Each structure stands twice: as structure tokens, then as C-alpha cells.
Structure 1
């Protein structure tokens, strides 16, 4: 007998055992009990064969920032199958079920960290983030000066203190998590050791922080958040002042970060990392909430979307713009209502996701033949989509 359903509380231990085997880590008995206590079994979908858990995935209830607004997001995690059940299409069935569940829950977009990008592309997820990873020797750390009247204050790990600064920073990007107390305390502070230092500008405003750990002569920056250039320089001066006790600093940064240009010697290790994938779960609901670029040209745009695993997304959608082009009324057209092909742009759900996340531009997608339509229509779509850097500081 085959069954796809959410787990019961008594099955969480079996799910944890599968995760530990698949992802090659071990939890102590105490850690397992603690993890079980805050794991919601109704977020975990299992594929059962003869009553035994064969494969599973988790749908986390998240929100993400996109063009300055937060969207309900289904974070897919913990995708795993016992070896004896692999290559039987179980994960594929779980992913299709997850799409239906996320749509019902109002999660219009989904993120996941792929073990293999090409695998999840088959089910509609597409790359949406690259980030930079720096390894900076101590003698090449920035030689910035702090602003007169500013200060660095060491603080305890209080999420209420840091979250207002984090949110002002996160809203600038597409793809950051909207964090809550549980995320700060159980995922960030619990899993990462170290010190939190707060930057206070000359006006007495808290405009940034750094969460870092010094161990074995390496300063690992878990997170550096700054709201302006003055704060960035002040935080980096603080880190550079650790030079007598460290040999290098390791830190990740958004793909458009300009630190190498600002330092006296930019010849240090800089690695580009391709990170998470994204997928639009519900085209109509997602695009209705989406905030477009204000513009004078507000003629309707017609999008023909192909989606093999979510039939509600498969078809032609009319985008009728309002509010100076910033919002769109979205209608899925019936067969008799469809416009002539020369008025339509066509693409897959993967391509649409890369475009609306601002990871790729319409002109590039047309160049590589992943977006079909006239140059005029491609230009209109590109003008409508705001360009923001994609970034995700977290992992799940």
C-alpha cells in the first residue's frame, strides 16, 4: 500500500533518523528530543510504503521580501529518501503534492536549496541567487576610519534589538527571509556561536550590527548588516581591529557588493557561489500581489506560461495594469479569449520565476530563446519588472 500524507507526532523520530542518514550528521539523544519538541509534523509530508516512511520533505511556513513587500513563501527542506526506495519517483510525487499544498495555503512562491539544480528544474524551480564569499587575510583588511561620535557596543543575542535593523536591510533585496523570534533564537543564535556587536552612529541611531566568531585565528562573520556606507566602514574597522588575534576573515556578501573596490588591496580570494532556487507556485495570485516598476506605458501584457506540474499555471494570462503600472489585474484566459500569437510572450514557469525575482532580464532570456515574442513585447516586460539584487543570508 502506498500513501502520501503528513506525519503524526510519533513519526517525527523516524523523519529525523532519515534526515541524519541522508545528510550525514548525528544528533545526540538530547538534541533529538529538543528538535522533536519544536518540529511541526503537519509541515512534513511523507511517502509511505506498506506503512513505512520511504521518503519525505518539509514545507516551512515563511515570508520573503520581494520588491519591498513580503510574500508568503513555502520553504522546501529536508527532502530525503532511504536508499532502498530511491529512483522510484517518490520525491517527484512529493514535490507535486507540495505545490498543491502551498497553493492551498496561499504560499505563492517557494524556495529550496538544491542538491542538484537540474533535478529541481524539471519540477519548475529555477536558480535565483548568487552570492560572494570572501576570504580576506588580516593584512588586507579594510583601513577605514570610524566616524567621530560613533560607537560599537557589544550586546547579548536579543532578536528584538537586531530585527528592526535586519528588516530595513533585508527589504532592499529580493529573496530575504522575514524572520520571527523562533528563527532568530532556534535557528540562528542556537546554531551559530559568537559575539554580536552593534554600531551606533553619531546621532545615536542603531544602523548596523555584526555577528561573528573568532576561532583558530579565523574571524567568521555569520552576518554583517549595515544601513549606510558610514556603518559599513565602522563595522569593518571594528573587525580589522582584531588583527592581532586573527590571520583571516571569512564572510559572505550580496553579489553586487563593492568591498573589494573600497579596500587598499583587493587581491584576496573572492568566490561566486550559486545558492538557492525559487519557483512561482501560483502565477495569478503571485503576479496580482507583485509590485511593478511605475511607468507611462501600461498596455496589457499577455503571458503564455507552460507548467507541467501545476496545471493552474498552464495557459495564457492577461496582465491589465493599474496605479501607474505598479499593480496588475491578472486573468487566466479561456481558449476562446486568447489573443493572436504576435501579442503574446511565451515562457516556462522557470523562466517566469527568474524574471520576476529579478535574477535575469527579459532581453537576456529572449536572447537565449527561453522567452519567445517580439522585441517590442520583450522590452515592455523588461521595463515593467523592477531590478533588485537577489540575496538570502539564511539557510534552511
Structure 2
């Protein structure tokens, strides 16, 4: 096989690209869905690997935004990775991924997410698991038994502005959620998840929660249940329970730290925790400059500076030493160091890891102490203690798919 050429897929080759996706993901789009896909085409998102002039593999790099520790970050979403069988195991996807890292860096997308077909495959390229999803199946008889609340439930239709205002207040509380726009709601939520929305308004007439759900064949499938406070949570579950004559069970997904079973009279419901999406830091220097480190509690910290050594086989700009310093005002500063300085680790506590380990740690999916225990972090315990102090705790969650 000749050296592949990686370039953007022109719109006139979209049907060829779409055929590859349909084959790889074993699906067949209806004519209307196919026309919608064509209308939504953004040439800058579609990359192909060409062998002898023929499209052999493809990948999308989506321009998205995500929440991390309360800050909004530009993020590149890797999606629709597909290769014709006769070209597999030829390094085409590896080439597309390396190209995607370069493109995302140029576009200022400091982070990247993807849904893996195989976790081990993408770990080789620096992505690491960052979130899980908890799935429930609740028989109708075991639904929460709650009194009527002071507020009311209204069906707003596809009111994107209303629903997104509630969702955004919810999403910013987590690491790894998307900051959705109108197009995402229309093309990804309403178009792909059939159902109805119901919004809970409190006694002051403020919208503080919603449920987007579908009732079909006596199953209530909750696509999303978002509650900004306990009252909204109780009001929405009361609303769902009032469907009892129509349904035999309720299914839904929730953050992995959700504690719904504890609130039930009988918590013995079916629940399953599944690893979900992976994340990767694309531009480490930029990421560390923007990251909202926590201020350590002064005297409890034994050191005010560490050296961080990161290795990245597929993005050479991330292979570096970084100084992480606690300033006198409690703020944290980071600085990329020349190799000659970074090699001198005698006087300053240091710690080392690869980009995948650093990503899952900074996303707060896994804590430094655990990564140290399983030997994914290496170095001085003083540096470990400082990392534990300055990396904030926050639950990860992603209710979306791409």
C-alpha cells in the first residue's frame, strides 16, 4: 500500500464518505435522513485518508465546547471513525488521529473527547477514560412515592432557549459536559431522541428542572432528567410516577455518583455503571495556563513548587518539563521549562506521567493518590501531596453522544 494522503473530504465526495460510515456502523439511512446529513455537511470537520486516490478511511473532528471545573473550554470531538476492511491495520486511523491532534491544536481546541469502540486502542494514542454512566431500570411499583410539590409542570414543546438555560446551569456543575448550542439541541437531541419535554416551575414561577422522555410499549424512557434543586427533583419524579397506568418500568441514565436508589423505599432496582467517553489534552502548555488550580491550604503544604514531566508519543509539543509553582497569594502558576532545566530535578520534588494519565487526573476522574498507587504516576511523595491539594474535586458526566 502506498503512503496514504490525509486531507479534507470535499463535499462532492460526501456520498462516498457516507457509504463508508453506513458500512462500518452497519446502518442504512432513510432518504430523508440522508438529505439532512448532506444539508448539515461542514467540510472543515471531515477528514479522509486516501490510498492511491481512493477514500480508505474517514474521521470527523467536531468543533465543540465543554465544561471543566466551571470553565468553558474549546474541545475537538472525534467521531465517525471508519475504515474499509481491505485497508484496516494499515495505520490509517493512527495517521488520522495524529492529523486531528495537529488540527485541533491549530484551532485552539485544548481538549478532545471521543467514544471508543475499544478503550485499549485509543489509550495507545493518549486518550483515557474520563467518565462513566449509571443506568437504571425501575419497575413502576418501585418509583419514588412523593407528595405533590408547590410548583407545577408545563410541557414547553421544543423550546430550546428555555431547556438550554436549565441544562447550562446543570452542566456547569460537572466536568466533561458539553456546552450545547441551538443546533445541537435541534440536530442531536430532538432529532435523535424522540419524545416530549416537561419543565418544572417552582412556586415563584422559576424554571428549575426538566425531563425529556418517551413513553412507548409501556416503557418510559427518560432521555434526560435535569433538576437544579431538591424541589425540582421531587416534582419531576412525582410527574413521572403519575404515568403509572401507562407504563411497566422506567429506564434512564445518570451521573455515576447519583444516589437515587437510596431515596427509594426498595432500593433493589437494576443498576449498571458503564465506562463511557475518553478525553485527551491536546495542547498541554495552553491547558496548564488555563487550568483553574485550587489554592492549597497554606501551612499544610510542605512544598510550594514541583516539576512535572509529561511524555506524549503522538504530540511532540507536549513532551516537556513544567514547573508548577504556588505563589505567595495562593495562586498557582505553570511554566514550560527548557529540557536542560527540567533534567535537573535534584532540588525540587518532581513527578512524571504520560499524557493519558495526566488527562484523567486533571479531569478529576481519577485522583493523583490512586494513580500513584497503580504506578501510573512516578516521583516524589511531596509532589504527589501538592497535586492532591491543587487539583479540584468535581464529578464527571456526559449525557450526550457523538
CA distance 1:325–1:283, change in 2 (3 Å) = farther
Query: Any gaps of 5 or more consecutive residues in structure 2?
Result: none
- How many Å separate the matches in 1 of 2:66 and 2:92? 28
CA distance 1:322–1:36, change in 2 (3 Å) = farther
> What's the counterpart of residue 357 of structure 1?
363
- Aligned partner (choices 326, 334, 339) of residue 334 of structure 1: 339
- How many Å separate the matches in 2 of 1:123 and 1:269? 35
Deviation at 1:338, TM superposition (A): 3.7
Counterpart mapping for 1:15-54 below 5 A: 15-54=17-56
Q: Is the 8 A contact 1:292 1:325 kept in 2?
A: no
Deviation at 1:139, TM superposition (A): 0.3
- How many Å separate the matches in 1 of 2:223 and 2:304? 45
Q: Is the 8 A contact 1:291 1:326 kept in 2?
A: no
Q: Is the 8 A contact 1:288 1:327 kept in 2?
A: no
CA distance 1:324–1:167, change in 2 (3 Å) = farther
Q: Is the 8 A contact 2:9 2:48 kept in 1?
A: yes
Q: Is the 8 A contact 1:318 1:332 kept in 2?
A: yes
Counterpart mapping for 1:230-245 below 5 A: 230-245=231-246
Deviation at 1:288, TM superposition (A): 0.8
- Aligned partner (choices 11, 14, 29) of residue 13 of structure 2: 11
SS at match of 1:284: helix
> What's the counterpart of residue 264 of structure 2?
263
> What's the counterpart of residue 288 of structure 1?
289
Q: Deviations 1:156-211 (Å, cap 9, x if unpaired)?
A: 11111111110100000000000001100011111111111000011111000000
My pick for the range that moved more, 168-177 or 158-167, is: 158-167
- CA-atom RMSD, angstroms? 1.4
Q: TM-score, normalised by structure 1?
A: 0.97
- How many Å separate the matches in 2 of 1:325 and 1:19? 50
Query: Any gaps of 5 or more consecutive residues in structure 1?
Result: none
Q: Deviations 1:311-354 (Å, cap 9, x if unpaired)?
A: 11112111234594454233233324543156210001111001
Q: TM-score, normalised by structure 2?
A: 0.96
SS at match of 1:305: strand
- How many Å separate the matches in 1 of 2:251 and 2:276? 17
Deviation at 1:44, TM superposition (A): 1.0
- How many Å separate the matches in 2 of 1:63 and 1:327? 24
- How many Å separate the matches in 1 of 2:186 and 2:329? 42
CA distance 1:324–1:225, change in 2 (3 Å) = farther
> What's the counterpart of residue 229 of structure 1?
230
- How many Å separate the matches in 2 of 1:302 and 1:242? 57
Q: Is the 8 A contact 1:289 1:327 kept in 2?
A: no
Counterpart mapping for 1:106-185 below 5 A: 106-148=108-150, 150-185=151-186
Aligned residue pairs: how many? Answer: 395
- Aligned partner (choices 35, 54, 68) of residue 70 of structure 2: 68
Q: Is the 8 A contact 2:113 2:277 kept in 1?
A: yes
Q: Deviations 1:367-389 (Å, cap 9, x if unpaired)?
A: 11110112221011011101110
> What's the counterpart of residue 396 of structure 2?
390
